[in-house]
Structure 1
Amino acid sequence: MGFSPREERIARIHHYGQMDQVSPHLRVRYPIQQALGITPSDSEVLTSAIYSHLARE
């Protein structure tokens, strides 16, 4: 899967909460809207589930 350069720029701006020029006289800062990734809490839950699964005989 990939993005065109324009789509990649838009996704990056929204993902990291960056500013964008939306018209010749207007710049907008978008709120962070992470599209991908896991939180530290998600990581702990996944790690625990993997260890529990691997410990079974």
Structure 2
Amino acid sequence: APGGIAKAWIMGPCLPPVEVTRVQGSVVRVGPYDGTSGGKHRPLTETSKAYIEKFGIPYGSW
């Protein structure tokens, strides 16, 4: 998410959690698809649309 923070951790059964990176998102000014779509997102495929209708948007998996 633009402006959001993402962290990556390494963990294991005999290893305490170790943070390996922390990055902050930014807004890409050219827009989606490197500016080739006029600032608009392209329509969903029928497969993607059917998945979202059945399961919703998987926010927790980001």
Work out whether the TM-score is over 0.5: no
TM-score where L is the length of structure 2: 0.24
Q: Which structure would you say has the larger Rg?
A: 1
Higher relative helix content: 1
TM-score where L is the length of structure 1: 0.25
Higher relative strand content: 2
